[in-house]
Chains A and B, each alone.
Chain A
Amino acid sequence: MRNWRFKEIVVMAALSVVFAVVYLAFLPAGKLLVGLFGPIGYDLIFGIWFIVSIIAAYIIRKPGAAFLSETIAAMVEVMIGNATGPMLLIAGMIQGIGAEAAFAATKWKNYATWVLMAAGVGSAITSFTYGYFMSGYAVLSTNYVIAMFITRMVSGALIAGLLGKALSDGLAQTGVLSSFALGKAHQKRNAA
């Protein structure tokens, strides 16, 4: 935490707050999809629940951003008082670890599109493992479980990875990120 500026932490927290609300907003959508397709319905849009990891890490570019932002988002969801409570906190941390692992593998140096997508997949893997035990996917048929898993990874890569990147880049264009790593990278590119 030593090399984090306080400003970066508050901004990360603010992003987490925004996405905590977004996460809650997508819960009914998830429930609807589950109603239509069964448990796999959630997996179709599961990537949305990883997005703040990717955005925070891509903007701030410091070790821990992916993990912390997802954890805080979960914490805020709990505080809003409309979520699955402490269990969600653990779920958030586990998702965060998955994304963080992908960034860690590049020693927090590389923020190319494929790394962001890999981070989305990372969250999908850890969250699925957790879900497998917590929600008892074990009772479901193996083929169905595999289909869920693949769907979630694709969703993680596309929704969290690609969408997260597009949003962050849009934000960088406005100039509000000028004192953050992503904003500085943009400025350099524009100046060159």
Chain B
Amino acid sequence: MKAFIQVDQLRLRFDNQFKKDTLSNLSFELNHGESLLLLGPSGCGKSTLTFCLNGLYPRELDGEMDGNILINGKRTTEFLPGELSQQVGVVFQDPETQFCMLTIEDEVAFGLENRCIPQAIMGDKIDYALELVGMLSLKKAAVTSLSGGQKQKLALACILALEPSLLILDEPTANLDPIAAKDLIQTIHQLQEKTNCSLIIIEHQLDGWTALAERCLLLNHDGEIFYDGLMRHAIRDKFSELETQGIWLPKVTQFLLNHVDGTTANIPLTIDEFSKQANLWEGTNWQQNEKQLGTKKEKLFLEATNISWKANKKEIIQNISLKFYEGEFIAIVGANGSGKTSLSRILAGIQKPTAGTIHMKDKPMKTWKESYLRDEIGYVFQNPEHQFVTNTVFDEAAFSLRIKGMDEHDIHKKVASILNTCGLSSSKQQHPYSLSQGQKRRLSVATMIINNQHMLLLDEPTFGQDAHSNVQLMELLQTRFYHGTSIVMVTHDMELVNQYASRVIVINEGKVVSDCSPADLWQVSAEQLTQWQIDLPISIQLEKIYEKEANYVSTPS
């Protein structure tokens, strides 16, 4: 029997990318009911491949494409426009931009209408699809009333209503917080058991997915396949390439590889696998980040006293008092909607609190002149593009210096050095919008530290970035930290908290519920952490499992 999907010698090139193929010489097959993880660095053409598989390319392509893609033995180009949507369904990354209707049922109906499904049976199909993702009760709700995670489930339901044989998930969790991401993966798990469709999963973050798909297809920067087989074997056989291409490994795997010398064979990919063989990992040094991030609470920099903030009659921030000292590396964590971003904006003086006062260097925030305030505190928004105001990377970094009327010669020197620190020297003349996601963030940081600001606040700085960009950004922040800048970052990533922060503040329902060192936070009871929607970092999780299992084994049986 022929494979369900056959990709043969696929090559694709965009008109505007001269002399470089985005996908080159791609060949692979996929059977009915089979699952596949498609991995590769940012910009390696994973999404492009998606468009080839669902027939959008070559129809909508500005460029050339050759080779063959056969679905059930029929070329994608031979399908009528739209027809392929009943074979191949795609859930995209951004939960905001996959809809065109205002209510949930209308949105699910949209795909069915496109396929001319008779109105009489539409209702049942809509119910079926919503039931699969557990959203039947929200049938009449407005799309805008949903959370990001629910939107992704809705996007999934829209596709499922068409009952495709292949489901492609194009980084479906990239814009979700960890809890919503876990929930979505769980839903897909259940789904696969029920529908038995084939799955192609494109992801940066592998956790949770490896149990779903054993097979992986690895792409490199040049859009070529460098491995096709079991993930486990890829780690054994292609470890160095995985690293050079900046492909994330599951957190468990990454941690063990970093902390234990020796073999890469038989390494666990999930927590479950680890707990089955925990006793094999004797002698692992679980806590070995020698952080020298001593908290010397000497000089008070910023002090918030009894601040509250209301928006739309809802109390987002409730009576918070906090002190920030010079030389701290602080993480603000908490569930979505707990008020962490609002708090960070108030601290930075972007948002005025409805009650309470903030003092910076013993002077009320209100009395600081805006321009002086910006010399003290920088703020990096979640979407760095919002902050860009000029047409080149160089001008962007030079902007605030020019406002101050600094001598152009000095500006050049200073900008060159900052861009160098941020790894952007080679993109000086590029338009800020044309940078990669990681570069944009670093440029945003560059513009915010150019005046040697004392404090830098960042709103989820690692959101939606690949492994390489993440490391670069965190190294940059650490360097700044050692040069005396206090760092305050809002984040969901407990690995970062564990690795970098000297102090962690937990926000829950607009209140500070914990303010301590990361090490102390991990000692809080599991129920409490779950309630705050905090996951333990992987090293702590593994250590706990190890201790439990090892003790269990050591008691004679």
Which residues of A come within 8 Å of B, CB atoms? 5, 7, 170, 173-176, 178-179, 184, 187, 191
Contact = CB atoms under 8 A, between A and B. Distances in A.
Contacts of A178: 16
B62 A174 contact: no
B431 A175 contact: yes
A131 B62 CA distance: 43
B433 A176 contact: yes
B434 A179 contact: no
Contacts of B18: 191
B60 interface: yes
A176 B15 CA distance: 15
**Complex A-B, nearest 4 residue pairs according to Cβ-Cβ distance, in ascending order:** A174-B433, A175-B434, A178-B16, A179-B62
A184 B62 CA distance: 10
A58 B433 CA distance: 21
Contacts, number: 19
B391 interface: yes
B16 A187 contact: yes
Interface residues of B, number: 9
A56 B309 CA distance: 41
B431 A173 contact: yes
Contacts of A184: 15-16, 62
A124 B433 CA distance: 35
A176 B433 CA distance: 8
B434 A174 contact: yes
Contact of B391 (A5, A173, A179, A187): A173
A59 to B, nearest CB: 15
Given A173-B391, A178-B16, A187-B16, A5 B60 contact: yes
Contacts of B391: 170, 173
Nearest to B100: A10
A175 B433 contact: yes
Contacts of A187: 16
Nearest to B435: A175
Contacts of A5: 60
B388 to A, nearest CB: 9
19 contacts: A5-B60, A7-B60, A170-B391, A173-B391, A173-B431, A174-B431, A174-B433, A174-B434, A175-B431, A175-B433, A175-B434, A176-B433, A178-B16, A179-B62, A184-B15, A184-B16, A184-B62, A187-B16, A191-B18
A171 to B, nearest CB: 10
A81 to B, nearest CB: 15
Contacts of A175: 431, 433-434
